[in-house]
Amino acid sequence: MAEKTEKPTSKKLKDESKKGNAFKYKELLSTTGYAAGIAYLLYVADWSAFSRFYQTVLRNVNHLSLPVYIQMLSDIFFQMVLPLIILCGVSVSFVSLMQTRFAIATEAIKFDLKKIDPIAGFKRIFTKKSLKNLVKALISLIVYLSAGYVFISLYTGDIYQLITSPFSDAGNGFLYFTGRYIAIFILMLMPLLVIDYIVEYFFFFNDMKMEKHEVKQEHKNSEGNQEIKSARKRQHRELLSAETKALIKNSDVVVVNPTHIAVAIYLDPENGVMPLITVKEKGTYALAVRRYAEKHRVPVARDIRLARTLFRKYHVFDTIIDDDLDKFLDLLLWLNDAEQAALADTEQQHMHQQGD
């Protein structure tokens, strides 16, 4: 089996995302869910239903009827638990979609027996990723204990006062210190999460790498498809305005680089018109200019440095001057020699055909 050394193409990543293999940092999802849930419980949730339930159970432990008990549990569910579930679900789903750029894994819904293969699952235990997860778990435990030590060091006196405070103040104090501890823990855990994110992306990118023949085959399939070619040609025609097309047809040469930059040039030395930039485009527009010029038999000359220089230094309808003019004239001489040589070869072949 050939080694996978090539970077994954955009088509490869798109196809894999449909199978549910898009890069998603699971720790970010769980952290988002925990953070949203804890923030809701500490700062938004209405604890009155829970407080009533707690006090009622303590005061009427032997006289609490089942309907009242069920009603209080229902109040807790609809006032606290259900909003918590919705908030966590929405926040985690949103972050997950953001990571996958809102790509839906349609093919991942299909049932696959390989996913429950015990042999494949056993092999996954002894991998670099499993070792990484073990190390991460140990470091997380150390961070958790360290956060507890820092928390106790900072708030020992306050915690002692909370223990000796009235019961009515204990609830608010408990929520306050819980939030403080979680904040300390998250701050200490952030460096680990950043490093783990980078490592996870490295593993994902490495898994997505392709063999050379896969890249060639994909390129061949995309370029060989006549429908795609026709669509691209239509797109290129639509990119150019009628005015731009007229300028290209009236130009004497188009300098390209070879597909990223295209500069159309018009000259008329007999009437004193120096070389003039008529069209300059880059990217997809440059390719459209080149193909339109070839279609209308406007000479296309490949000169990477000159094309870059003309595109960078001149605006449309500027005249080429100084050293750039000399380089352009040299290109014209070469182009003229090439055309004369091609014409001579054509005439020679024609004479041979007549002689035969």
- Per residue, the 3-state secondary structure of 64-118, as one string, reads CCHHHHHHHHHHHHHHHHHHHHHHHHHHHHHHHHHHCCCCCCCHHHCCCHHHHCH
Q: What is the DSSP letter of 156?
A: H
Q: Mean of the pLDDT values across residues 148-153?
A: 90
59: pLDDT confidence band, cut at 50, 70 and 90?
confident
228: pLDDT confidence band, cut at 50, 70 and 90?
low
Q: What is the DSSP letter of 141?
A: H
Q: What does the pLDDT read at residue 209?
A: 77
Q: Is the pLDDT of residue 355 over 60?
A: no
CB-based contacts of 148, cutoff 8 Å, min separation 6:
181
Domain boundaries, the chain: 10-213, 240-355
Give pLDDT tens digits for 14-57.
777 666 677 777 788 888 888 888 888 888 887 777 777 877 77
Indicate the pTM of the whole model.
0.46
Q: What are phi and psi of 320, to 5 degrees?
A: -75, 135
Q: What does the pLDDT read at residue 264?
A: 94
Q: Is the pLDDT of residue 257 over 80?
A: yes
Q: Bridge-partner residues for 319, per DSSP?
A: 276
Q: pLDDT over 70 for what percent of the chain?
A: 78
Beta strand 253-256 pairing with 300-302:
parallel
The rounded Cα 306 to chain-centroid distance in angstroms is 34
d(CA 50, CA 80): 9
The helix or strand, by DSSP H or E, that contains position 318, with its residue range, turns out to be none
- What rounded mean pLDDT belongs to the chain? 79
Question: Which is nearest to 139 in space by CA: 192, 191, 179?
Answer: 192
Q: What does the pLDDT read at residue 335?
A: 85
Amino acid at 165: S
Q: Is the pLDDT of residue 2 over 90?
A: no
314: pLDDT confidence band, cut at 50, 70 and 90?
very high
Q: What does the pLDDT read at residue 279?
A: 93
d(CA 261, CA 99): 34
The rounded Cα 89 to chain-centroid distance in angstroms is 23
Beta strand 261-268 pairing with 300-302:
unpaired
Give pLDDT tens digits for 259-288.
789 999 998 877 777 889 999 999 888 998
Give pLDDT tens digits for 316-332.
989 998 888 899 988 88
Own/partner pairs for 93-99, CB < 8 Å, 24+ apart?
95/28, 95/29, 95/32, 96/24, 96/29, 99/22, 99/23, 99/24, 99/25, 99/28
68: pLDDT confidence band, cut at 50, 70 and 90?
confident
How many other CB atoms are there within 10 angstroms of residue 34's CB atom? 14
User: What homologous superfamily does CATH list for 240-355?
Assistant: secretion proteins EscU (3.40.1690.10)
Q: Is the pLDDT of residue 254 over 90?
A: yes
119: pLDDT confidence band, cut at 50, 70 and 90?
low
Q: What does the pLDDT read at residue 255?
A: 94
134: pLDDT confidence band, cut at 50, 70 and 90?
confident
Question: Residue 154 is encoded by which pair of tokens?
Answer: 């900072």
Q: Rg of the chain over CA atoms, in angstroms?
A: 35
Q: How many CA atoms lie within 13 A of 157 on its CB side?
A: 1
